[in-house]
Amino acid sequence: MRVKRGRKSFFTPEGKVALAFLKMYTGLSAPKLMDALNGNIHYQIFCGIRISPENQLTNYKLIDSILVELSKKLKIQEQQKVLADAWKPYMKNLDTVYTDASCYESLMRFPTDVKLLWECVDRAYKMMCGISSQLGEHRMRTKYNDIDKANLAYRKQRKHTHKQTRKMIMRLLALLGKILGEIRRQMRVHPDEELLNYKQLDMLETVTRVYRQQKNHFKSGDSRESIPNRIVSLSKPYIRPIVRGKETKIVEFGAKCNNILIDGISFIEKLSFNAFNEGTRLKHCVSLSKKLTGVDVKKIGGDQGYSGNDNRTFCKENGIETSFTQKGRTGKNEVKNATKRELARVRATAMEGSFGTQKEHYGLRKIAARIKSTEIMLIFFGIHTANVVNLARRESVQVALAA
């Protein structure tokens, strides 16, 4: 039997990883990165390829396909161990760790109940019309056109009263429930017909979940009520609202990531699209640092969210100095107090600075990805591209001083 191997890949496995680093380093879209790759010999050498000027690459979707392929094979902790082993000779102060959490926001519009419900109505109505046309049946009569006009008038208003919003949500819920009921009836009456493809079935399931969540939320009458596993985007149903409590941005939408910083190099300790309390992750941070460097942690810096009694007891039992504010009266040991102040200062500057660098210069301010695995992969490569550039600059400075 002939083995179906297919065409040989243009990029080697190493070249595909290099291409992912290059994308985060340049911050270019796939079409622009393809143009840069065709015209820049240094980029080609970095990716281990040679592109002839007479036969340049034209299909920019090749880059997207490579990123999707890498996202399916990504194992964060295993890859981080490989990187840490390679970087360890260039790192110092391996016994000092800083930790903090941040949210890497996803590129999406700010969700409101009215926007989300109208999008659900629009998607479900088109499905119902397609099924009716496929079966040769008359479409069910609805108030779709009337609510479309009312929704447009609502969106044009600069401000909305609570009464107007409640009325709009009530009408959208009634229409959405009627459309979903008709789609289920059509599928029940014609079980042998393939009325929807797998993408439409997934979307129908997401729309149904949104309908149930919003209906229960509307019935409660409490706009501040917390909705478990709340869906805020139909195209990205894995996104959850992350309450950060910042002065300018109370809620963020994206992946919450708890990082550790060792000698200015960031590593991912936990990444989740669901909210979690980073204060419970300090023991895991210590364990991860020991796993990556092979050195016991002697000093750790974290904000007040990490200064719970369990973490204080753990650090005291393991002889780890912390940046946590001392409970009760301030001690008289000036050396110990100075160590705490220094740990707190470096955490506030280096740790927060690393987040800012990643978001401003390496494509993590708003992550443009369509699927969950690709978004995680872009976060991973964005963080470690910043690490690579940091290490390269250190090495260049040392070479210049030695010359």
pLDDT digits (tens, 9 = 90+) for 41-88: 999 999 999 999 888 999 999 999 999 999 999 999 999 999 999 999
Burial 357-375 (b: 16+ CB within 10 A, else e): bbbebbbbeebebeebbbb
Contact 58, 362 (CB under 8 A): no
At residue 149, the pLDDT reads 96
Mean pLDDT of the chain: 91
Round to whole Å and give the CA distance between 81 and 104.
22
Around Cβ 261, how many Cβ atoms within 10 Å? 23
pLDDT of residue 232: 94
- What pLDDT shows up at residue 343? 81
The 8-class DSSP code of residue 367 comes to B
pLDDT at residue 336, rounded to an integer: 61
pLDDT at 173: 97
Give dist(CA 62, CA 49) in Å, integer: 14
Q: Delineate the domains of the chain, giving CATH numbers in brackets.
A: 13-67 (no CATH), 75-108+242-402 (3.30.420), 113-220 (no CATH)
Residue 245 banded pLDDT, cuts 50, 70, 90: confident
* pLDDT on residue 347: 80
Range with the poorest average pLDDT among 66-70, 85-89, 325-329, 356-360: 325-329
Is residue 328 scored above 90 in pLDDT? no
Q: What share of the chain is helix, strand, coil (3-state, %, to 5)?
A: 60, 10, 30
Tell the burial category of 238 from Cβ atoms under 10 Å away from its Cβ (0-12, 13-18, 19+).
Answer: middle
187-243 confidence digits (pLDDT tens): 999 988 889 999 999 999 999 999 999 999 999 888 788 888 999 999 999 999 998
DSSP 50: -
Q: Is the pLDDT of residue 132 over 70?
A: yes
Query: Measured between alpha carbons, how far is 233 from 110 in angstroms, rounded to an integer?
Result: 9
Give the contacts of 195 (CB within 8 A, at least 6 positions apart). 131, 134, 135, 186, 187
Tell me the pLDDT band of 249, cut-offs 50, 70 and 90.
Answer: confident
In this predicted model, what pLDDT tens digit does every residue of 291-305 receive, in sequence order? 999 999 999 988 888
Mean pLDDT of 149-171: 94
Given this model, what pLDDT does residue 305 score?
87
Give the pLDDT score at 284. Answer: 95
Whether the per-residue pLDDT at 275 is higher than 80: the answer is yes
Candidates 326, 277, 329; CA nearest to 305 is 277
Stretch 319-338: mean pLDDT, rounded?
A: 73
Residue owning tokens 């007479």: 54
> How high is the pLDDT of residue 348?
80
The tokens describing 401, both together, are 């001083």
Q: Among 18-32, 219-233, 272-286, 325-339, name the one with the lowest average pLDDT.
A: 325-339
- Mean pLDDT over 170-176 rounds to 97
